[in-house]
């Protein structure tokens, strides 16, 4: 597997492209601080969408911390202008596929983030290392008694 380097488009595992992100946000360094996934992705346990944190969340620390770091300067730049960081999505489905995915039931069933997203704690920017398609959903649903009717996953 190739690592994603800021400023480059590189083919990742699973054949997908690593997105070039506006800020090289290091997951690994933040997890080492003791932050949990759901401290930033606040919907991943109880809601449909995990969500990406607002730049205001970053500023809770970076208003004071590492202000002279080149990447952190970009973060502060967005916050000063009052705009969100335009993160490029890593996972997701085309709207044509009419898929509805909800995090909450999966969290309740005790499925780890890493099962569907890989070991993000060791990544810098998130990489699409796990394939999400109808086959991967159904394989687990057959094993774990998840729903298999079309209407459960499609609208």
Q: What part of residues 33-72 is at the interface with ligand HEC (CB under 6 A)?
A: 33, 35, 37-41, 44-45, 49-53, 57-58, 60-62, 65-66, 69, 71-72
How far is it, in rounded angstroms, from Cα 60 to Cα 136? 37
Give the shortest CB-76-to-ligand HEC separation in angstroms: 10
Q: Of 18, 79, 117, 129, which lies in the binding site for ligand HEC, with binding defined by CB under 6 A?
A: 117
Q: What angle do CA 120, 125, 128 make, to 5 degrees?
A: 65
Q: Give the contact letters, 133-152, x = binds to ligand HEC (CB under 6 A), - = no.
A: xx-xxx-xx--x-xxx-x-x
Q: Is 27 in the site for ligand HEC (CB under 6 A)?
A: yes
How many Å is the Cα radius of gyration of the chain? Answer: 17
Q: Is 22 in the site for ligand HEC (CB under 6 A)?
A: no
Measure Cα distances from 53 to 11, 18, 79 in Å.
26, 20, 13
For residue 67, which of 54, 86, 80 has the smallest C-alpha distance? 80
The residues with which 11 forms a beta bridge, in sequence order, are 17
Give the shortest CB-14-to-ligand HEC separation in angstroms: 11
Q: Is 84 in the site for ligand HEC (CB under 6 A)?
A: no
């Amino acid at each position: 597997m190739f690592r994603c380097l800021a400023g480059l488009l590189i083919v990742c595992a699973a054949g997908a492209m690593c997105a070039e992100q506006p800020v090289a946000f290091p997951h690994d360094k933040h997890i080492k601080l003791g932050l949990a996934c759901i401290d930033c992705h606040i919907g991943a346990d109880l809601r449909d969408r995990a969500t990406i944190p607002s730049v205001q969340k970053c500023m809770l620390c970076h208003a004071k911390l590492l202000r002279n770091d080149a990447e952190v300067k970009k973060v502060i730049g967005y916050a000063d202008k009052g705009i969100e960081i335009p993160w490029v999505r890593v996972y997701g489905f085309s709207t044509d596929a009419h898929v509805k995915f909800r995090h909450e039931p999966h969290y309740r069933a005790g499925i780890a983030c890493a099962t569907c997203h890989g070991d993000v704690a060791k990544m810098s920017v998130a990489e699409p290392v796990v394939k999400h398609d109808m086959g991967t959903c159904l394989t687990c649903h057959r094993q774990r008694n998840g729903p298999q009717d079309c209407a459960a996953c499609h609208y």
